[in-house]
Amino acid sequence: MNLLENLFNFVIMARQVRFSPLTQLADAKPIDWEVRFAYRDVALRKWLSARGMTPGEGGKGFRITRTMEDIHLLVSEGQKDLPGVDWLLPQTPAEKMESNTPSNLYEEIIGRYLDRLKVSRYSPHTIRSYKLAFTKFLIGISPRHPNDLKKNDIIQYLLERQKKDYISATYQNQIINAIKFWYEKVEELPRKNYELPRPRKADPLPKVISMEEMQSMIRQTTNLKHKCLLMMAYGAGLRSAELLALRPIHVDSKRMIIRIERGKGNKDREVPLPAQLLPILREYYQRYKPEIYLFEGQKTGTPYSSKSLQQVVHQSAMRAGIRKNVTPHMLRHSYATHLLEAGADIRYIQDLLGHKSITTTEIYTHIARTRKPPSPLDSFIL
């Protein structure tokens, strides 16, 4: 039995959960999955619901929105928590090692690879992403050992992925990072030997809405939970994942701060709690009484879904008469831009946004209105 069969082989038992993709599988894109199990199994239904499973359309069946990697992580968690359950997944290319590849060789490679990722304290999400990308790399070069490859062999592998899988520039960068991690961190080979060319990618300016448009969105939203979501997303400049991971204990009304734990890059930070948000947040808490997450979905104890958040933002923008396609992340961009326009120091904004590099924050200087001189045309008397 090869390594991937060891990783993804699920012991056959009486209780079963089957995940079936409702759309075409994608490497790093969340998709909708149908979840099938014995609905009378209350304990199993409760466990799945606590991890984001919701009723399907019209209340028929159950659905969950996750990436393929997240589903594998969920299954691994389920195997530990519910040892009497058989978890069934569709087979992916990453589960098909070449038959002539010695299993102990790949066990050693992947084992060392994962150990180095873990000891380096990479986040669970990064570990999953790197492992999947590197496993597919091993499949693509099989039966050769990665240390037997030349730089051009790896370039040919990347070209093949471009041709067959139409991978994006962003995902190609992720593949390169995963491959380089093996050579540079695990094997500690000279970086110059595997300095792979990076794909050119677009560098678009962030899209924002005006303060007046944001104010109109909030005013036109009458649903209390939806209004709190909008005000928190914009007023604290949060990423969607950060917003949906908030718990009541993260809001400190005495210090007037919101604590974001394990944000992007596995970093914690604190941002000011807007004074106008506090009374509305208190009213929301008294009415909805969230138990685990500050913003919960239909099932108590489950986080509000990112898809529902997108719908809230989109519908609020439509009611406000905004024709742009407004997304949750645009509220974060708008928050940063409006702070800059109000004269806030860019390094302060960097801290609020949780950016590792000031260069990332400086992109907002290109769209902030107060930073742009008027056109010479405006001085003409016509």
Are 255 and 357 in a shared domain? yes
Are 305 and 233 in a shared domain? yes
Work out the average pLDDT over 284-311.
91
Of the three residues 194, 228, 254, the one that is the final residue of a domain is 194
Residue 298 confidence (pLDDT): 86
Are 131 and 26 in a shared domain? no
pLDDT tops 90 at residue 4: no
Q: What is the 3-state secondary structure (H, E, C) of 163-199?
A: HHHCCCHHHHHHHHHHHHHHHHHHCCCCHHHHCCCCC
Whether 88 is in a domain gets the answer yes
Specify the residue for token string 């304290």.
121
3-state secondary structure of 288: helix
Whether 188 is in a domain gets the answer yes
Are 248 and 347 in a shared domain? yes
pLDDT tops 50 at residue 1: no
Are 113 and 143 in a shared domain? yes
* Catalytic residue flag (residue 332): yes
* Catalytic residue flag (residue 364): yes
Whether 203 is in a domain gets the answer no
Phi, psi angles (nearest 5°) of residue 139: -65, -45
Instruction: Report the distance separating Cα 52 and Cα 74, nearest Å.
Output: 10
CATH number at residue 149: 1.10.150.130
Residue 233 confidence (pLDDT): 95
Whether 199 is in a domain gets the answer no
Helix (H) or strand (E) holding 77: helix 68-81
Range of the domain at 81: 3-94
Instruction: Report the distance separating Cα 48 and Cα 160, nearest Å.
Output: 38
Catalytic residue among 185, 247, 264, 319: 264
Q: Which residue has the higher pLDDT, 6 or 64?
A: 64
Residue 105 confidence (pLDDT): 66
Residue 96 confidence (pLDDT): 43
Q: How confident is the prediction for the chain on average, in pLDDT?
A: 84
Burial of 247 (0-12, 13-18, 19+ CB in 10 A): middle
* Catalytic residue flag (residue 355): yes
Residue 287 confidence (pLDDT): 94
Are 75 and 117 in a shared domain? no
Whether 206 is in a domain gets the answer no
pLDDT band of 267, cuts 50, 70, 90: confident
CATH number at residue 287: 1.10.443.10
The token pair that represents 107 in the structure block: 């066990």
3-state secondary structure of 72: helix
Q: Which residues pair with 63 in a beta bridge?
A: 34, 54
pLDDT tops 90 at residue 275: yes
Of the three residues 194, 228, 259, the one that is the final residue of a domain is 194
* Catalytic residue flag (residue 106): no
pLDDT tens figures, 322-355: 988 899 999 999 999 999 999 999 999 999 999 9
pLDDT tops 90 at residue 377: no
pLDDT tops 80 at residue 131: yes
Residue type, 154: I
Residue whose C-alpha is closest to residue 209's, from 323, 111, 81, 348: 323
Catalytic residue among 63, 207, 239, 299: 239
39-48, 75-84, 157-166, 365-374: segment of lowest average pLDDT? 365-374
pLDDT tops 70 at residue 231: yes
Residue type, 193: N
Residue whose C-alpha is closest to residue 160's, from 170, 147, 178, 175: 175
Q: How is the beta sheet containing 15-21 ordered, strand by strand?
A: 54-55, 62-66, 31-37, 15-21, 85-88
Helix (H) or strand (E) holding 4: helix 3-8
Number of domain units in the chain = 3
Q: Which residue has the higher pLDDT, 298 or 103?
A: 298
Burial of 64 (0-12, 13-18, 19+ CB in 10 A): buried
Catalytic residue among 128, 161, 333, 355: 355
Instruction: Report the distance separating Cα 335 and Cα 355, nearest Å.
Output: 14
Give the ranges where 220-372 is alpha helix by DSSP (H): 224-236, 240-244, 277-288, 306-319, 328-341, 346-353, 358-361
Residue 176 confidence (pLDDT): 93
Collect all residues with Cβ–Cβ distance below 8 Å to 305 and sequence separation of at least 6: 52, 54, 65, 244, 297
Are 134 and 225 in a shared domain? no
Q: Which residues pair with 35 in a beta bridge?
A: 19, 62
Residue whose C-alpha is closest to residue 237's, from 373, 78, 96, 354: 354
Residue 39, CA distances (Å) to 20, 36, 55, 59, 277 in order: 16, 8, 11, 13, 40
Are 18 and 134 in a shared domain? no
Are 133 and 65 in a shared domain? no
Whether 378 is in a domain gets the answer no
Work out the average pLDDT over 126-152.
87
pLDDT tens figures, 172-189: 889 999 999 999 999 988
pLDDT tops 80 at residue 369: no
Contact 228, 280 (CB under 8 A): yes
Of the three residues 194, 222, 247, the one that is the final residue of a domain is 194
Whether 204 is in a domain gets the answer no
Residue 195 confidence (pLDDT): 80
Collect all residues with Cβ–Cβ distance below 8 Å to 280 and sequence separation of at least 6: 224, 227, 228, 231
* Catalytic residue flag (residue 239): yes
Are 221 and 307 in a shared domain? yes
Whether 275 is in a domain gets the answer yes
Residue 235 confidence (pLDDT): 94
Contact 331, 221 (CB under 8 A): no
Catalytic residue among 66, 332, 333, 338: 332
Residue 354 confidence (pLDDT): 92
Residue 202 confidence (pLDDT): 64
pLDDT tens figures, 143-165: 888 988 888 899 999 998 888 87
First CA to last CA distance, the chain: 81
Residue 11 confidence (pLDDT): 30
pLDDT tens figures, 60-114: 789 999 888 788 888 888 888 887 788 887 754 444 444 334 456 677 888 899 9
Instruction: Report the distance separating Cα 349 and Cα 321, nearest Å.
Output: 29
Residue 316 confidence (pLDDT): 95
pLDDT tops 50 at residue 115: yes
Are 39 and 135 in a shared domain? no
Are 246 and 361 in a shared domain? yes
Residue 98 confidence (pLDDT): 40
